[in-house]
Structure 1
């Protein structure tokens, strides 16, 4: 783990005790729509405190990874409320310890604002998902509105310093740089919050 990643990890360790409150900003209906109809072996990247874990269906196996041990400690407490089979591991999304073509589905919800090298994280997802698999995401990113986008640019140094999250990431560009294909894109809150379904396009 490089120095920049370690700094961000420590910031997420610091806010682990209040992260559930912050995470509730993602509407439960959005989560349920994304997670309720998945099948097979699932990787959740940036599982955080485990807000998604109770929403997975009973017929799946979920491996959740996060680079923050204090976040994972919170997530373990939610396993007993889950219907799915859950395994949690401390791991960096930029350097995953999985073989190529391991998972049927990869999930992320508001994760790629905090991955220090998002393109590298997306490349790792592309590597570990099966060629016929899919990537399902709920992600916030820089607004396409010029004024709102500039405002997010101004806010970004503060949010990174406080909680480790970038509010002005150009996530669509990062996805394309990593060689992933966008199959579906739905705006949930103007252009800032989006549901994405990606293909590894191998």
Structure 2
């Protein structure tokens, strides 16, 4: 992973955070209750928004981003523990978590199918899942543009896929989707769902 991307991430995202993303994050994260798993916590931008969680276990494989997130742990009202692990192999027991949060991370996970299987394994039956992701747009021209730009974007932005169909992926797994909110003509989706595994 490159060193420059984590260093500019917060600065690059500031206009989006101030315009829309902060409100979306706050709404989703505030719904997470009990013991919470956060997938790809990045620089910890979600940490101050946890209000109902009893504990947060946050995974982040990028060591530079994880280091930057430590200052935001101090701004949180709840206990947060970070781990330098990947979503495809979570170091937690089955049926551990009441809620799962993932924001702007599924675009970079190398094997998103395995990641969802692991999330389901460590989540309790009927656990709540809250996601905020950018996805491939359901538009003939714009979707194809995302497809064409993805190979370059992958190299520039630490493995980020512009054209991931995260909602379609969730629909193919054993989850119940209760709400989907679209932003910027479907480029970003806020998704609420629950784990159906027994």
Same fold per superposition (TM over 0.5)? yes
Q: Name the structure 1 match of 2:11.
A: 21
Contact in 2 for aligned 1:119/1:177 (Cα 8 Å): no
2:142 is the counterpart of 1:124: no
Report the CA distance between 1:38 and its aligned residue: 2.6
Report the CA distance between 1:14 and its aligned residue: 4.1
For residues 116 and 26 of structure 2, what CA distance do their matches in structure 1 show? 23
List per-residue Cα deviations over 1:121-180 (Å, max 9, x = no partner): 111111111102110000110000111101111111111011110010111222233322
Q: What is the aligned counterpart of 2:74 among 73, 77, 80?
A: 80
CA-based RMSD of the aligned residues comes to 1.4
Q: Which moved more, 1:182-191 or 1:71-80?
A: 182-191
Q: What is the aligned counterpart of 1:186 among 146, 159, 181?
A: 181
Change (3 A) 1:184 1:73: same
Number of equivalenced pairs? 192
Q: What is the aligned counterpart of 2:165 among 156, 166, 170?
A: 170
Q: Name the structure 2 match of 1:70.
A: 64
2:44 is the counterpart of 1:50: yes
SS at match of 2:74: helix
Q: Which moved more, 1:40-49 or 1:187-196?
A: 187-196
Q: Name the structure 1 match of 2:86.
A: 92
2:25 is the counterpart of 1:35: no
SS at match of 1:98: coil
Report the CA distance between 1:182 and its aligned residue: 1.6
Q: Where do 5+ consecutive residues of structure 1 fail to align?
A: 1-9
Report the CA distance between 1:201 and its aligned residue: 1.2
Q: Which moved more, 1:20-29 or 1:100-109?
A: 20-29
Q: TM-score, normalized by length of structure 2?
A: 0.91
Report the CA distance between 1:200 and its aligned residue: 1.3
